[in-house]
Structure 1
């Protein structure tokens, strides 16, 4: 059945006419009405290409957003869908604390320890929303994948696009949950992202907990090359290191640095250098050296620090 006469005026005020042969449907996909008539052959192909391009641009973004609208499991921000898992504490107020937990590079397996840590902190806290976040391009053991490019996990994926995607997702979560204040905890590569993020987005995070950090990326790569003899760690990268941006970190951002005393992957010397660089620019970071190697993020020592951060009344904002 041919569709009845339709017409539409686009924002420009121009009236477009299409033939019934070219549009044999009752309703336009985006709800516009179009008057049935005949387009002259001259220029019709070009005109239709432009119209269909507009239709595609209008349709694609809502469809993508519609597939990323479960805020407890995914966040649509910066035109990207970032996967999360959300764990609320038993007691909630209108303005809870928000904690974001970032995993490391996880070169050998899909990461999920950020979820376990977030759940542990939430179940032992009050008035907290703890969110384990899956970094751009990564997949978790359930097969969920955040938008973005994972990279090679050799210091190449702590750059501006990844930091921006994570920061925009945190901004969205802060708004949705009406957070009183925000804690960002990152491990290893996630710690490097945390250091870069608090410099690039100075008002976003109130307390950064940076654990096992390769805070000088190229120095860390040189150490990894000596440790592994893998060519992928040879040479310098054009990338961003937290130690290069300490002057941009605001004085009022609380920073807790934690390193394992026997860590050979991200030696504590890298954390200490970042600590000293922050001090030279007037910041007041806290440095903790704990027993253990690189994989200390879920250790009791780190859990105690995170639980204390949740209870820190001095950071709360209304």
Structure 2
């Protein structure tokens, strides 16, 4: 269940186990509509929304809940919402509306619109940090192109934000692998205070050049961007990537809480 490798000792292992039990039993975490998910923490000063990756191998999309809980622990002034992306469900019956097309070719404008509506719903009167990993980053980038100021800060980790480039790097993919999806680099740039792009230098799934392409797109349109290529980082969230990811969340929260 807990796949991110930021745990360093037995204490964190026990915390990971307890969070797994917490999610399975469904208490101390509330389901959300219209996108389902988990709420961790109840701070009133900051809202954090997290979107998982594609989990194309059939894995649990909330398997990284221990990471969300660590963010909530570090930031007690925040409320962390871990959303199930459109069409996804978890092993305990939570399910979001929409279609993920079997977890393939799913970065559609329809799903992006659902995500945008949820960002508006959760934002309320607090600053919001939106976080997406892998396909969640691609959908988040697309959602932010639909409407201005959906978040104050965004953190996109291992983003497949340039789909044509991605296809060209994978010539063995079956014909028609990506037909419904819309690439963020073809859309208007978001109006947002700052975007952090994180990608591991050893990411074989969404290599750094994809994040570099989107960073160039954003920069040329005047968006404040920090591109970080993480030494030793992979795609799924090994210690190098997850440490940089956590640092990016803490830095973004510091900027928003002290401005």
How far apart are 1:142 and its partner, in Å?
2.0
Q: State the match for 2:146 in structure 1.
A: 200
> Of residues 76, 82, 99 in structure 1, which corresponds to 2:35?
82
Q: Is the 8 A contact 2:31 2:39 kept in 1?
A: no
Q: The residue matched to 1:275 in structure 2 has which SS?
A: helix
Q: Is the 8 A contact 1:185 1:208 kept in 2?
A: yes
Q: State the match for 2:219 in structure 1.
A: 279
Q: State the match for 1:305 in structure 2.
A: 248
The 5-angstrom pairing of residues 121-132 of structure 1 reads 121-132=71-82
CA 1:236–1:161: 2 relative to 1, 3 Å: closer
Task: Write the distance in 2 (CA, Å) between the matches of 1:248 and 1:261.
Answer: 25
Q: Is the 8 A contact 1:221 1:234 kept in 2?
A: no
Task: Write the distance in 2 (CA, Å) between the matches of 1:83 and 1:238.
Answer: 23
Q: Does 1:120 find its partner at 2:70?
A: yes
CA 1:236–1:100: 2 relative to 1, 3 Å: closer
The 5-angstrom pairing of residues 20-169 of structure 1 reads 73-76=30-33, 81-88=34-41, 92=43, 95-108=44-57, 109-154=59-104, 156-169=105-118
Q: Is the 8 A contact 1:101 1:131 kept in 2?
A: yes
Q: State the match for 2:207 in structure 1.
A: 267
Q: The residue matched to 1:184 in structure 2 has which SS?
A: strand
Provide the alpha-carbon RMSD of the alignment: 2.4
Q: Deviations along 1:51-84, whole A, 9 cap, x unmatched?
A: xxxxxxxxxxxxxxxxxxx9x53333xxxx3111
Q: The residue matched to 1:186 in structure 2 has which SS?
A: strand
Q: Does 1:296 find its partner at 2:246?
A: no
Normalization by structure 2: what TM-score?
0.80
How far apart are 1:105 and its partner, in Å?
0.6
Q: Is the 8 A contact 2:153 2:195 kept in 1?
A: yes
Alignment coverage as a number of residue pairs: 229
Q: Is the 8 A contact 1:75 1:169 kept in 2?
A: no
Misfit runs of 4+, over 4 Å: 233-236
Q: Does 1:243 find its partner at 2:243?
A: no
How far apart are 1:106 and its partner, in Å?
0.4
Consecutive unaligned residues of structure 1, counting only runs of 5 or more, are 1-69
Q: The residue matched to 1:239 in structure 2 has which SS?
A: coil
CA 1:265–1:73: 2 relative to 1, 3 Å: same
How far apart are 1:186 and its partner, in Å?
0.2
Normalization by structure 1: what TM-score?
0.66
Task: Write the distance in 1 (CA, Å) between the matches of 2:198 and 2:163.
Answer: 17
Q: Is the 8 A contact 2:32 2:38 kept in 1?
A: no
